[in-house]
Amino acid sequence: MKVLVACEFSGIVRDAFLSQGHEALSCDLLPCERDGPHCQCDVRDILDNGWDLMIAHPPCTYLASSGARWFASRKKEQQDALEFIRVLLDAPILMIALENPVGVISTKIRRPDQIIQPWQFGHGETKATCLWLKNLPKLEPTLIVEGRTARVHYESPSPDRWKRRSRTLSGIAEAMAKQWGSVNIPLE
């Protein structure tokens, strides 16, 4: 399967798909933190490259409910972010998963198909993550664990705090690769 992992600088999801034998490429405006197939560009430039599956992690800065107090002063930025979401969801790719925290996508575009938590995939913490799916099943929990730490919420302020908060946890990445990587490609 040919997999595009959009807006990923970490390589975590890409590497999970590579480990399952798929042809996977991460794409971001930033360089990748890990060695491996990565395109440092605007993902819109490669959406037409014959992908079977796209996992998209668009920036949530102007979309997440956690930033609601700034929405009034960032209307243009939010509209641009929502337009980017629409482009990703409408991409000419048979199977799409778009992830983002709880926020305005749910009210401005459509409700998510699923909301997952890290503790459902082997990580004892909370971080509600919405998934918008096209031709994909909901992710099934792989390892429900105790612990409900809000690690992401309590990240210490720093210049790279946003990076630490936005990385996909390995248990979720592995579930995506194993479950969605085995989905039969729908006929057009």
CB atoms under 10 Å from CB of 115, counted, come to 14
Is the confidence at residue 74, as pLDDT, over 80?
no
* pLDDT in the model for residue 23: 98
- With a CB cutoff of 8 Å and minimum separation 6, the contacts of 21 are none
pLDDT tens, 15-36? Answer: 999 999 999 999 999 999 999 9
Average pLDDT over residues 109-116: 97
Task: Give me the domains of the chain, ranges plus CATH numbers.
Answer: 2-180 (3.40.50.150)
> pTM of the prediction?
0.89
Sheet holding 129-134, edge to edge: 38-40, 23-28, 2-6, 53-56, 95-101, 129-134, 114-116
Q: In whole numbers, what is the pLDDT of the chain averaged over residues?
A: 88
pLDDT at 159 over 60: yes
Structure confidence by residue, pLDDT tens digits, 133-145: 999 999 999 999 9
